[in-house]
Structure 1
Amino acid sequence: MTVCHEHYHALHADMRLALDACAHQLDHSFYAYDLDGLDSHLATLKQAQAKLWFAVKANPVSAVIQSLAAQGFGFDVASPGELNQVLAQGVSPDRILNTGPVKTPAMLREFLQKGVRIFVLESHQQVHDLEAEAKRLDLSVDVLLRVQLPWPKSDDGSINVLGGSDPTPFGLTPEQWLPTEIQFSERLQLRGVHCFQWGNILDADELIANWQGAMPRLAALLDAWQIAEPVVDLGGGLGIPYTGQSDVIDWQQVCTALAQLKQQYNLGECWMELGRYAVGPYGYYVSRVADVKQNQGVTFVVIEGGSQHALRPALTNQAFPVQPLHASEAAPLPVQIHGSLCTGLDCLGKLSLPGDVKRDDWLVFSQAGAYGFTESMPFFLCHSLPAEVTLRGAELTVVRPAAPAASYLA
Structure 2
Amino acid sequence: MSTDRIRRFLAQAPPTPFLVVDPAVVTARVREFANELPGSRLFYAVKANPEPAVLRAVLAAGGGFDVASPGEITACLAEGARPESLSYGNPIKKAADVAFAFSHGVREFTTDAESDLRQLARLAPGSAVSVRILVDGPASATPFGHKFGCVPAEAVSLLRLAADLGLVPGLAFHVGSQQPDPSAWDTGIATAAKVAAEAGIRLRRLNIGGGFGIRYRELVPSLAEYAAAVRASLAAHFPTPPQLALEPGRAVVAEAGLIRAEVVLVAWRGGRRWVYLDVGRYNGLAETENEAIPYRLDAGDGERGPVVLAGPTCDGDDVLYQHTPCELPLALQPGDRVDILDAGAYTASYSSVAFNGIEPLRTYCLD
TM-score (norm 1): 0.81
Q: What does residue 109 of structure 1 align with? A: 99
- Measure how far apart 1:80 and its partner are: 1.0
RMSD: 2.3
CA–CA distance in structure 1, aligned partners of residues 268 and 196 of structure 2: 61
CA–CA distance in structure 1, aligned partners of residues 212 and 116 of structure 2: 28
> Does the 8 A contact of 2:353 with 2:360 survive in 1?
yes
User: Is the aligned partner of 1:32 residue 2:25?
Assistant: no
Taking the TM superposition and a 5 Å limit, the aligned residue runs for 1:225-304 are 225-243=199-217, 245=218, 247-264=219-236, 265=238, 266-304=240-278
- Measure how far apart 1:322 and its partner are: 1.2
CA–CA distance in structure 1, aligned partners of residues 158 and 98 of structure 2: 25
CA–CA distance in structure 1, aligned partners of residues 159 and 118 of structure 2: 13
> Does the 8 A contact of 1:262 with 1:269 survive in 2?
no
> Does the 8 A contact of 1:284 with 1:368 survive in 2?
yes
Q: Which amino acid aligns with 1:35?
A: P
Q: Which amino acid aligns with 2:28?
A: S
Q: What does residue 149 of structure 2 align with? A: 171
Q: What does residue 15 of structure 1 align with? A: 6
User: Is the aligned partner of 1:45 residue 2:33?
Assistant: yes
Question: The residue matched to 2:346 in structure 1 has which SS?
Answer: coil
- Measure how far apart 1:254 and its partner are: 2.4
Q: Which amino acid aligns with 1:362?
A: R
- Of residues 121, 124, 128, the one that matches 1:142 is 128
- Measure how far apart 1:371 and its partner are: 0.6
CA–CA distance in structure 2, aligned partners of residues 194 and 83 of structure 1: 20
CA–CA distance in structure 1, aligned partners of residues 228 and 150 of structure 2: 29
User: Is the aligned partner of 1:331 residue 2:303?
Assistant: yes
Q: What does residue 390 of structure 1 align with? A: 365
Check 1:211–1:338 CA distance in 2 against 1; reply closer, same or farther (3 A cut): closer
CA–CA distance in structure 2, aligned partners of residues 218 and 54 of structure 1: 22
CA–CA distance in structure 2, aligned partners of residues 181 and 140 of structure 1: 14
- Measure how far apart 1:107 and its partner are: 0.6
Residue by residue over 1:285-324, the C-alpha shift from the partner in whole angstroms, topping out at 9 and shown as x without a partner, is: 1121122222332212222232221233432413321112
- Measure how far apart 1:340 and its partner are: 1.5
- Measure how far apart 1:354 and its partner are: 1.4
Question: The residue matched to 2:247 in structure 1 has which SS?
Answer: strand
Q: What does residue 377 of structure 1 align with? A: 352
Residue by residue over 1:160-183, the C-alpha shift from the partner in whole angstroms, topping out at 9 and shown as x without a partner, is: 5234xx5x1212112112248962
> Does the 8 A contact of 2:17 with 2:361 survive in 1?
yes
CA–CA distance in structure 2, aligned partners of residues 159 and 250 of structure 1: 16
> Does the 8 A contact of 2:279 with 2:285 survive in 1?
no
- Of residues 44, 48, 54, the one that matches 2:44 is 54
Q: What does residue 406 of structure 1 align with? A: none
CA–CA distance in structure 2, aligned partners of residues 185 and 219 of structure 1: 17
> Does the 8 A contact of 1:78 with 1:98 survive in 2?
yes
- Of residues 68, 78, 97, the one that matches 1:78 is 68
Q: What does residue 338 of structure 2 align with? A: 363
CA–CA distance in structure 2, aligned partners of residues 159 and 268 of structure 1: 25
Structure 2: state its 5+ residue gaps.
none
Question: The residue matched to 2:338 in structure 1 has which SS?
Answer: strand
Residue by residue over 1:365-389, the C-alpha shift from the partner in whole angstroms, topping out at 9 and shown as x without a partner, is: 1111001021233422112233210
Q: What does residue 349 of structure 1 align with? A: 321
Figure out how many residues of one structure are paired with residues of the other and give that number. 358
Check 1:199–1:306 CA distance in 2 against 1; reply closer, same or farther (3 A cut): closer
> Does the 8 A contact of 1:179 with 1:224 survive in 2?
no
CA–CA distance in structure 2, aligned partners of residues 160 and 190 of structure 1: 33
How many percent identity over aligned positions? Answer: 23
> Does the 8 A contact of 1:28 with 1:386 survive in 2?
no
